[in-house]
């Protein structure tokens, strides 16, 4: 009987698992996605492409195609809520342009997004994915909307910056925990309460308390018995005793002559009195804490508003990023299956790039003698011209 109940529970769980949104940019994708016109002439155009190196040329995604542009496009889906669910936000991106500055993240919006007017100011519930700008910014964004504010993760999670495809996955759990995966490897995880500022602190410094004026927190003091030894009163530089006033020196024209300075051989350096432990030291003063009267608990910080759209809303200095395989689901098995698919794609992509690199190297080696001969001839011509 227990086995039967277990199997029934497993079957119910399997049947309740859903794919809320899935897009691999196959046939008819243009009908599912809406481009934002909010940025006008500053808007960049997406093109359908598998990129330069691929496992299958039919596995195409949306590629940014114009430099220094805003990119905005979104797709709506039937409204769902993550209440009582663990959900996953997953997508694949490839920065073929050796990206120097640009976003590579996706956003999940609440129901009601005005897709034609979508901008960076449009309210979203989740923003997730890599963001790169120079060597200083190479991180994975994980941002949640909460009580009118966009809350950034307090940890630094490093993203990939090479030209290969990478699979980014955010796991948002109903027990208010999370995990971030890159290519199936867990890069970060923990508590939403610890790694975002969803709630005010439970305790605050007691405003009625302050450090006593007579509190001594200096661990060491100058030894009052230490006395400067003789010889430490010498200056660091003295007048050169061997210097003489030049015969052609004119005091009226050149001013009063002064001998140049030299290092003083008797100088022993700056004297510093030694320190001893302070007998009056009381330790570091710790501010007493009290319960924060503004603190309000919330057991559902993981829960988003009802969700209804996903979008790409980024700025890129250099274009060439390919977005693909966007997925929203509560099914961990679907996520596992997508990782298997990604690993096959990544292996094929690497093989294609390695083959292209080998061919380019072979071509360069074959052309090297002719190039060297041409360079030698040019040098001879330049030498003859200079001699003439």
Domain count, the chain: 1
In a domain, 266, yes or no: no
In a domain, 114, yes or no: yes
The region of weakest confidence among 54-58, 66-70, 342-346 is 54-58
Q: State both tokens at 152.
A: 């950034």
pLDDT at residue 386, rounded to an integer: 63
In a domain, 306, yes or no: yes
Which of 217, 172, 215, 226 minimizes the C-alpha distance to 195? 172
Whether 25 has a pLDDT exceeding 90, the answer reads yes
Q: Which helix (H) or strand (E) holds 115?
A: none
pTM for this prediction: 0.78
- Under the banding of pLDDT at 50, 70 and 90, the label for residue 269 is confident
- Under the banding of pLDDT at 50, 70 and 90, the label for residue 89 is very high
Average pLDDT over residues 231-235: 82
Domain that holds residue 317: 18-197+299-355
Average pLDDT over residues 338-346: 96
In a domain, 270, yes or no: no
pLDDT at residue 12, rounded to an integer: 43
Span 131-168, pLDDT tens digits: 999 888 899 999 999 999 999 999 999 999 999 999 99
- 243 versus 381: the higher-pLDDT residue is 243
CATH of residue 109: 2.60.120.200
CA dist 58 and 110 (Å) reads 32
In a domain, 251, yes or no: no
Span 160-200, pLDDT tens digits: 999 999 999 999 999 999 999 999 999 999 999 999 999 99
Residue 90 CB contacts under 8 Å (≥ 6 apart), including other chains: 167, 168, 169, 170, 325, 326, 327, 328, 329, 335, 338
Span 40-64, pLDDT tens digits: 999 999 999 999 989 988 889 999 9
In a domain, 386, yes or no: no
In a domain, 275, yes or no: no
CA dist 118 and 170 (Å) reads 23
pLDDT at residue 11, rounded to an integer: 42
State the chain's mean pLDDT as an integer.
91
In a domain, 80, yes or no: yes
């Amino acid at each position: 009987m227990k086995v039967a109940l277990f199997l029934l529970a497993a079957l119910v769980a399997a049947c309740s698992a859903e794919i809320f949104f899935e897009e691999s940019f196959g046939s008819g994708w243009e009908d599912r996605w809406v481009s934002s016109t909010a940025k006008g002439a500053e808007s960049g155009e997406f093109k359908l492409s598998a990129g330069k190196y691929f496992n299958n040329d039919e596995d195409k995604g949306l590629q940014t195609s114009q430099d220094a542009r805003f990119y905005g496009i979104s797709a709506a889906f039937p409204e769902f809520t993550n209440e009582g669910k663990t959900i996953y936000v997953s997508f694949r991106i490839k920065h073929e342009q050796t990206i120097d500055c640009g976003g590579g993240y996706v956003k999940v919006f609440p129901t009601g997004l005005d897709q034609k007017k979508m901008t960076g100011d449009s309210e979203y519930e989740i923003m997730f994915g890599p963001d790169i700008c120079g060597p200083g910014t190479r991180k994975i964004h994980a941002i949640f909307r909460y009580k009118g504010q966009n809350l950034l993760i307090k940890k630094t999670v490093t993203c990939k910056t090479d030209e290969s495809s990478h699979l980014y996955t955010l796991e948002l759990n109903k027990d208010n925990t999370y995990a971030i995966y890159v290519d199936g490897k867990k890069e970060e995880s923990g508590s939403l309460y610890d790694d975002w500022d969803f709630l005010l602190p439970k305790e605050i410094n007691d405003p009625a308390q302050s450090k006593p004026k007579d509190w001594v927190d200096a661990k060491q003091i100058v030894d009052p018995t230490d006395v400067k030894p003789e010889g430490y009163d010498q200056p660091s530089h003295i007048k050169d005793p061997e210097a003489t006033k030049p015969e052609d020196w004119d005091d009226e024209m050149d001013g009063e002559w002064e001998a140049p300075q030299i290092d003083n051989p008797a100088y022993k350096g700056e004297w510093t009195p030694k320190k001893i432990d302070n007998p009056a030291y009381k330790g570091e003063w710790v501010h007493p804490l009290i319960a924060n009267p503004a603190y309000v608990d919330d057991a559902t910080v993981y829960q988003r508003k009802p969700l209804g759209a996903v979008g790409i809303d980024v700025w890129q200095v250099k274009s060439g990023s390919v977005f693909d395989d966007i997925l929203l689901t509560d099914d961990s098995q679907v996520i596992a299956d997508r990782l298997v698919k990604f690993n096959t794609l990544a292996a094929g992509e690497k093989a294609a790039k390695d083959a292209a690199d080998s061919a380019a190297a072979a071509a360069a080696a074959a052309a090297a003698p002719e190039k060297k001969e041409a360079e030698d001839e040019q040098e001879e011509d330049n030498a003859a011209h200079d001699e003439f």
